[in-house]
Structure 1
C-alpha cells in the first residue's frame, strides 16, 4: 500500500515579492486560522500587496492572517516599513471583499505615513 503524498497545510506561506527594481523586495507571510489559504486567495493578496508597494516602495515585510469567525471573514495585516509599522484589519461576508477593504485601509495609512515623512523632511530642510 502506497502512502498518500503530503499536501501543504495552507496554514503558512512565505514568499518574496519583487517589483523588478532588484533591491525592492518584500517578504510576505500569509497564514490562515480556521481557514485553508488556497492558491487563488494567496495570489489575490499578493496582487493587492504589489499595488501597495507601487505607492510606498519601502515595505520590507508583511504578515497577513486570515480567519473565519462565525459568518464573518476576517483579515489582518502588519506591514513593516522604513520608519515604523502599519497595522490594519477588515471583515466582510466575503474574503475577497475583506481583502479589498484591508488594502484600501493600508493604502490610506501608507499615504498618510508618506506625507508625514515628507513634511518632516521639508521642515528639516527649512531650518
Structure 2
C-alpha cells in the first residue's frame, strides 16, 4: 500500500506520519486489497481537517472520508473509524455478490 500524505497550512511532522501509518495499517487488516492512499491534512483557524481517499480494485474503486476536530490526532482517529466502517461495508457487499446474493 502506497501512502501519500500532504499538508495545507501545516508541516507534516514525522510523529504525524507515524500515527497515520499505524491507523492505516489497521485498515489493511480488514481489507487487504488497498493499493493507494492519499491523505490531506488541513488547518483552518482552530479546526483541524483530514481527508483520505483509498483506491481499491473492487466495487466503486475509491473510498473517501473526511473528519474534523480541534485536535489533529482526534481527527485522525475519527477518520480511521469512518474508513474502517466503509471498508467493512464494501467487503460485505463484495462477498455477498460473490456468493450470488442480490444486492437489494
TM range (shorter): over 0.9
Name the TM-score, length of structure 1 as normaliser.
0.77
Let me know the Cα RMSD of the aligned residues. 0.8
Specify the alignment match of 2:73 in structure 1: 96
Match of residue 21 from structure 2: 46
User: How many correspondences in the alignment?
Assistant: 99
Q: Which has the higher contact order (CA 8 A, sep 6+)?
A: 2
Report the Cα distance in structure 2 between the residues aligned to 1:64 and 1:112, rounded to whole angstroms: 21
Q: Which runs of 5+ in 2 are unaligned?
A: none
TM-score by length of 2: 0.93
Instruction: Extract structure 1 runs of 4+ deviating beyond 3 A.
Output: none
Where in structure 1 are there 5+ consecutive unaligned residues? 1-25
Bigger CA radius of gyration: 1
Per-residue deviation, residues 7-27 of structure 1 (Å, max 9, x unmatched): xxxxxxxxxxxxxxxxxxx00
How far, CA to CA, are the matches of 2:17 and 2:95 in structure 1?
33
